[in-house]
Structure 1
């Protein structure tokens, strides 16, 4: 369990590896010095920071095995006050980690969790009362269970204590599963996450809460992922598909586990070089705007098709994923919109295609090709330019087997994007 330094004159012992401990480490303390170092790093990199607070202080074990009793907020309060006093910018404070429903390791009932969140909101309001940008309060950061989440939202919505309803997704199961790749390339398996995303979206609308839905943590396969799967080219199929599905069902923020660490990091743990999902994330960020468009694909279910209004540009961007190992597809784009004579009409002659494939056709490769060229850091460790190829818009989109294609159609006039 983590605690936070409250007195610079008292010893703050760091975490120590301990194989017999539950998560492989001893209890530890986050020191003021370490917190300062982290914020220096955040400032240099422009990182947007959400920090998960320890929600277990002061708990007692109840007869049913869950943890109860009011949360002892004093230790967390000291960190929040120190952070505000130092002028460190926080996007949000998140309460706890995977304690909802059945929990992971332990659990807390929704009513108690709601009571503690309301108390935390009161503290944050008081500490930041003279600071212009108050951080968001984010909870419960667990795995979605409808009844637990419904009770929690009902008990917190009247006080507007929660700004974000967060949940975690590890839809591929354990990283030890020998069938991870088969699952990633199975459209029915990928669709499984839609229930969670759509159900939470409906719950938020039904309860009338003003809170937004976030995927607060998602790494594909739990337990650190799997080397040469969740850190290789094949991982981008589930990752981009889940980004698209999350957007479709109103998720406002999606947090990837992790930037670096274990086998599901966007960066290689040993070399710090980008894994394929890093480049997939960059292309998503560059091309896919916040407005989601309805798409119908007439053809094999091995093609996953999504469309957004283009980001910082005219027109729309398509995302096409071909899960088929042997058969490619020729995709043509049309619009059913009838509100404007120009809806869906391609006024210009070219589009921009970004074709992602695995190096040497090896799904397990940690090198990805963009339009046939390997995406590699240069001599100065700089990210390569992500350049499209220009294609006549009248030509069908060629989606090769086991490939991913972003297509920017700048002249496609979708009414929602005008």
Structure 2
């Protein structure tokens, strides 16, 4: 056995494509095959070095950066406890929401212009892929808005003679663009879906008309983004807006909801925006999106918003009305789906992803409209996950993120996890009642990046690439049927949606 190990180490040091030094060699990492030949396993603590460093001293070598390498690593055991007796929160049925933004083609950040022809003035609403991507959700909630909504005017009854979209300006306008005019034909086209529409803020407002015009708009509260108003004035105008909505839509069943910062019995939803990864050109964006400790920090914001609503506006619900990860059009090739579980746990009703099209964070490719990986993650959530939220905890690595009923996100680069499910029916605490073993086949959807590259625009479902058909149809998302007695295995760098049909949680009945 010692000779087998020596041969393996000699190969790793001198004959592999990149020299590898195993940093955790011990008896538990030596595996025997059927012929009793020894093999080295568990490469999670190995180091890859270039050939010109092979002559370095041991001290110098020990300072090299830690790297993960290809090799066998036994999965970590993880216990997941489901408290199925009661629910802890509830989302809207249409929890998944996407935004359509106003940005024109010449919206640029960091020497790149990622919006193309997909802003609200230019978007080809008859594109077949776009149409089928939206219809796959049946329905998909769409939020129309963004930074430039504060400079939009609406050509009602054709009372604006020169109705033009946004024009680039050097100075004197918010965000460097002029006022944009939307005609009613385009309005009708946009409103064929379930739409959450953002109103403008300052257009037409004059000091002499303070009782006639409303100050509502995008990111105007607190410190604001390029513009702000005082809370007292905002509250008055939201109350006026609510009265206008009631007057124009007297039937409560068809009456639009009013969303915005709080107010007693005025708003139906309290909205906030999340861009917790920092600016799109931040070199740490890729690292941050894989760091569970960093990603979890934003949970405090969701909790604070939920607690504030419970205390001051219990008649309404929390919405994330815009979230793109990194601001200023997002980070190139960076995709994420870590916040859906967190927001649902903290009783948020809707989560609007920035954006359906446009920017680096789009669910659909800006040029071709071919779905990006996060589109399929959002679609699977819409298909698989229900609206009732039950508590799920786990004992194991923080790189494994439990969702609800169930979605698991494995952020680890090298480690897979073997999941055992426990059912906790105790209403007053205590140990879980029993380990759950399913007797029916469970449905598993495992999303992994192509070739293990987390920046790939191609995602695999159960090892099969998700690609449009020849007729441009969205691929059917078929689960893998797995024996319910086998532990759940979550591979490295993956998102898994697991449906267990014979798990009876009273809270979900």
TM-score class normalised by the smaller sequence: 0.7 to 0.9
TM-score (norm 2): 0.66
Which residue of the partner structure matches residue 113 of structure 1? 234
Paired residues of 1:293 and 1:306 also in contact (CA < 8 A)? no
CA RMSD of aligned residues (A): 2.3
The match for 2:381 among 273, 284, 287 is: 284
Which residue of the partner structure matches residue 47 of structure 2? none
Which residue of the partner structure matches residue 211 of structure 1? 316
Please list the CA deviations of residues 153-202 of structure 1 after superposition, one character each: whole Å capped at 9, or x if unmatched: 3xx21xx1111111111111111111111101111111111111100111
Give structure 1 stretches of 5+ with no counterpart.
62-67, 77-94, 141-152, 230-234, 308-316
Query: C-alpha separation between the residues in 2 aligned to 1:186 and 1:71?
Result: 49
Please list the CA deviations of residues 347-366 of structure 1 after superposition, one character each: whole Å capped at 9, or x if unmatched: 52311111110001111100
Following superposition, the deviation at residue 9 of structure 1 comes to: 5.3
Following superposition, the deviation at residue 208 of structure 1 comes to: 4.4
Query: C-alpha separation between the residues in 2 aligned to 1:9 and 1:99?
Result: 28
Whether 1:11 aligns to 2:161 is yes
Paired residues of 2:280 and 2:328 also in contact (CA < 8 A)? yes
Following superposition, the deviation at residue 38 of structure 1 comes to: 2.6
Summarize the alignment of residues 321-332 of structure 1 with structure 2, pairs less than 5 Å apart.
321-332=409-420
The match for 1:318 among 406, 418, 436 is: 406
Q: 1:172 to 1:375 in 2, by over 3 A?
A: same
Which residue of the partner structure matches residue 49 of structure 1? 195
Identify the structure with bigger relative contact order (alpha carbons < 8 Å, sequence gap 6+): 2
Following superposition, the deviation at residue 132 of structure 1 comes to: 4.6
Which residue of the partner structure matches residue 348 of structure 2? 251
Q: 1:138 to 1:344 in 2, by over 3 A?
A: farther
Please list the CA deviations of residues 250-285 of structure 1 after superposition, one character each: whole Å capped at 9, or x if unmatched: 000111111101111110000011000100001000
Summarize the alignment of residues 232-243 of structure 1 with structure 2, pairs less than 5 Å apart.
235-236=335-336, 239=337, 241-243=338-340
Which residue of the partner structure matches residue 85 of structure 1? none
Please list the CA deviations of residues 19-68 of structure 1 after superposition, one character each: whole Å capped at 9, or x if unmatched: 525434321211123223333xx2xxxx211111112245579xxxxxx9
Following superposition, the deviation at residue 398 of structure 1 comes to: 1.2
Following superposition, the deviation at residue 212 of structure 1 comes to: 1.0
Following superposition, the deviation at residue 209 of structure 1 comes to: 3.5
Whether 1:336 aligns to 2:421 is no
Query: C-alpha separation between the residues in 2 aligned to 1:19 and 1:248?
Result: 43
Paired residues of 1:327 and 1:400 also in contact (CA < 8 A)? yes
Paired residues of 2:407 and 2:497 also in contact (CA < 8 A)? yes
Larger Rg: 2
Paired residues of 2:276 and 2:325 also in contact (CA < 8 A)? yes
Which residue of the partner structure matches residue 28 of structure 2? none
Which residue of the partner structure matches residue 88 of structure 1? none
Paired residues of 1:57 and 1:73 also in contact (CA < 8 A)? no
- Residue 394 of structure 2: SS of its match in structure 1? coil
Which residue of the partner structure matches residue 122 of structure 1? 243
Following superposition, the deviation at residue 8 of structure 1 comes to: 1.8
Query: C-alpha separation between the residues in 2 aligned to 1:2 and 1:208?
Result: 30
Q: 1:5 to 1:335 in 2, by over 3 A?
A: same
Which residue of the partner structure matches residue 367 of structure 1? 458
Following superposition, the deviation at residue 73 of structure 1 comes to: 2.9
Whether 1:73 aligns to 2:210 is no
Query: C-alpha separation between the residues in 2 aligned to 1:195 and 1:301?
Result: 17
Which residue of the partner structure matches residue 38 of structure 1? 190
Q: 1:372 to 1:253 in 2, by over 3 A?
A: same
Query: C-alpha separation between the residues in 1 aligned to 2:178 and 2:313?
Result: 42
Following superposition, the deviation at residue 403 of structure 1 comes to: 1.1
Following superposition, the deviation at residue 6 of structure 1 comes to: 3.5
- Residue 374 of structure 2: SS of its match in structure 1? helix
Please list the CA deviations of residues 302-346 of structure 1 after superposition, one character each: whole Å capped at 9, or x if unmatched: 111122xxxxxxxxx31111111111111111112257x998744
Paired residues of 1:378 and 1:384 also in contact (CA < 8 A)? yes
- Residue 403 of structure 2: SS of its match in structure 1? strand
Which residue of the partner structure matches residue 170 of structure 2? 20
Give structure 2 stretches of 5+ with no counterpart.
1-150
Number of residue-to-residue matches in the alignment: 353
Paired residues of 1:59 and 1:71 also in contact (CA < 8 A)? no
Query: C-alpha separation between the residues in 1 aligned to 2:210 and 2:267?
Result: 18
Paired residues of 1:227 and 1:263 also in contact (CA < 8 A)? yes
Paired residues of 2:425 and 2:433 also in contact (CA < 8 A)? no
Query: C-alpha separation between the residues in 2 aligned to 1:18 and 1:27?
Result: 10
Q: 1:38 to 1:206 in 2, by over 3 A?
A: closer
Paired residues of 1:56 and 1:71 also in contact (CA < 8 A)? no
- Residue 271 of structure 2: SS of its match in structure 1? strand
TM-score (norm 1): 0.79
Q: 1:326 to 1:342 in 2, by over 3 A?
A: closer
Query: C-alpha separation between the residues in 1 aligned to 2:314 and 2:199?
Result: 23
Q: 1:257 to 1:71 in 2, by over 3 A?
A: farther
Summarize the alignment of residues 257-272 of structure 1 with structure 2, pairs less than 5 Å apart.
257-272=354-369
